[in-house]
Amino acid sequence: MTEINLLPSEYRKKPLTLRNILLILFVILLAGLIMKYACIEPLHKEQDGKQQLGALRQETLELPELEELCIQQKDLFEELNQRFLAFQALEENTPLYWQGILSTIMESLPEGSVLTQFTCDNSILLISGTCPNDKISAAYLRKLTESGHFPEARMEKIVYQQNDEVTYTIRCSLEKGMEGKY
């Protein structure tokens, strides 16, 4: 015997239809997607970011070692530079270097001019000579300047003799690092 139920049909629970089942599945799927893309993935990204930040912080903490390494390398560089300068200085005193200087002095000497004195230390050359007039001595100074061997060349002293003859002294400073040209 089925029991008598006075609950009207409009109050009774509706049976679960296929449409409702599909709707529920769709809602569950949608909720899953929302959960994945709105909650889970951002959380993962946040965790990754935190891990990276942690690694960077760790590296930052290890920085004094890098600084020490940098100082060591700087010291090494300084040492190598010193050795290089020593080698360069050694090369400046080679005969080949001085042959180039001498050739320039002689080849630039104008006709009619005679060198009377030549003084040199590691940085300064003093060239003294005589010539028939001051135009020739000026031409010599110009040629020496234009030769490119001397960063600076100037007339140190000029003495006028009788009949326009002059005695001159030219001061040339020697350039460092000219060894590549010889």
Residue ranges in contact with other proteins by CB under 8 A: 1-8, 11-13, 15
Q: Give the DSSP H or E segment for 117.
A: strand 114-120
Q: Least distance (Å) from other proteins to the CB of residue 10?
A: 9
Inter-residue contact 154 to 137 (CB < 8 Å)? no
Q: Least distance (Å) from other proteins to the CB of residue 22?
A: 18
Nearer to other proteins by Cβ, of 27 and 43: the residue is 27
User: Measuring CA to CA, which residue among 178, 176, 172, 179 is closest to residue 124?
Assistant: 172
Nearer to other proteins by Cβ, of 6 and 106: the residue is 6
DSSP 35: I
Alpha-carbon distances, residue 131 vs 21, 83, 116, 139 (angstroms): 119, 45, 10, 11
Spatial distance between the Cα atoms of 87 and 155, rounded to a whole number of angstroms: 33
Q: Least distance (Å) from other proteins to the CB of residue 18?
A: 17
Nearer to other proteins by Cβ, of 14 and 19: the residue is 14
Nearer to other proteins by Cβ, of 10 and 65: the residue is 10
User: Measuring CA to CA, which residue among 180, 181, 133 is closest to residue 159?
Assistant: 133
Inter-residue contact 138 to 181 (CB < 8 Å)? no
Q: Least distance (Å) from other proteins to the CB of residue 14?
A: 9
Q: Least distance (Å) from other proteins to the CB of residue 47?
A: 35
SS3 label, residue 5: coil
Nearer to other proteins by Cβ, of 4 and 106: the residue is 4
